[in-house]
Structure 1
Amino acid sequence: MLDIDNLVAIDIHTHAEGPCGCDSWLDSRELQEGMKTYFKKEFEQPTIPEIAQYYRERKIGVVIFHVDSEHHLGHRRYPNEEVARLANENSDIMIPFASIDPHKGKLGAREARRLVEDFGVQGFKFHPSVQAFYPNDRMCYPLYEAIAESGKPALFHTGQTGVGSGMRGGYGIKLEYSNPMYLDSVAVDFPDMPIIMAHPSFPWQEEALAVAQHKPNVYIDLSGWSPKYFPPILVRYANSLLKDKVLFGSDFPAITPDRWLKDFEAIDIKPDVRPLILKENAIKLLKLRQP
């Protein structure tokens, strides 16, 4: 159980890459080389316990997940059960999310229920571009129904992605799947399922803000970008209409929380809004504070 009163922040968006030598690590090597060029950095492969210790030293709670891209990319996934088991072994600092490709249909829905009931999974991560689906495709609805029943949030990548950027044909990854406007109808059909739109949603930032403002169950995380590059309209909405619906996320290991938090200090966020973004909104959304 997280000691939330002693945390300085909660990072709602981090990746558990498969450790070196495992199936998911071997399958994604070509893609990782491309991302290395895009992000201009070497990608280390810390284990989940190592990530836990990194965040523990910084007193930052951490939501962690892998991405199931078996259907479209053919990459064997890092098992949800393993991610959850290791996160639960570090439950003083970690919160496990899972990832299930919507193409798995009813089998995926069954897995979602099992992961919540047997492994304590607290949410689900989707990457429409990497998983090659439109979020409002009815194919996804059996899985959404299972998630909605659990009361757990569904976190969707939105906007451009560094995955496949600059590689031949974008490595087969289509950006159009990650337009946040597709989540508008999902929010209508599943009004009680919390939906988190990940990242500043370039080039669809205004669409993301419109959906988050209009639908009570839709939130935005600020991961994947240094705050110094946030569009002015995103900062304006975070300071006002959406101050209770915006969440800190780093996108570790692509961006470290150290860099994100340092750059966040330099942007024009109101003093009373900063703690909401860094921790309080996540506490409410994830129901971390006991009544």
Structure 2
Amino acid sequence: MKTFTSKDIENYYDQTEVHYKLHWELEKSMGLHYGIWDKSTKTLHESIINTNFLLMKFGEIKPSDSVLDCGCGIGGSAIYLSKKVGCQVTGVTLSAKQVATAKKLAIENSVDQLVSFYQLNYLETGFADQSFDKIWAMESFGSSFDKQLFFKEMQRILKPGGKILFADTFKPYPYDIDQEIDMQIMLNGWAISDILSLEELTKLAQDHNFETPQINDVTKDVKKSVERLYSLSLAGMVASKIYNLFKKVSHFSKVHYKTGIAQKKAYENGKWGYYLVMAEKKNA
């Protein structure tokens, strides 16, 4: 199993940001995540915003909440929560480039008094014990090279009764990623070593003083996003190979199209699902 450093993860997001701007409506939606589609969703932009809405609703985020956005990207979820609910949100990311963009967007959206952004590793934040009511983890947990350390740190900085809110890909059942080439291509292309199964996630949460997680399976509702990413990647494959003939490009930019192709194959084979998960810290 391939491992990635914090620098690798930072490089991935910095190197591929242009792809998200061109193909995932990054500047409009401010989100790099899968969009969840329902009967009222008509565009990719609406689906990306819908993912924020559904996780916010699932986690019952209130105006009085102090929220930590782990792996905040360019600040889209933090800005959305502050505008929609009026809560205080702190965003952390490994990328200095993303911090600068997030701060700029917060000012443009008139929420810079409610949100703040820092270049920090969410595995060792340095925040005081029991600082937050909610932890927001929108497709960022998988990037953690030490999932136990993540829960240990979140348990420390969450208040009793506080909640971790995940919107992410998980394995529906345990299996060895070394035996699944499509999953390796998919995850490694996103600077992710491996993801947990729902069973492993539940045990890890319980081992770190969290109640049994509540899990909402929305796998079928990201199908259109999966298919769109696949189509874009097929087109990107041709463009990437031509571009690479004339100019040297970064590693993640070079292989990025492969992730979109592999994620659809693995999705259709039931190797990953998309879930909204809430894990509540016990009071004692």
TM range (shorter): 0.3 to 0.5
- Kindly indicate which of the two structures has a greater share of residues assigned to strand: 2
Greater relative CO, 1 or 2 (CA 8 Å, sep 6+):
2
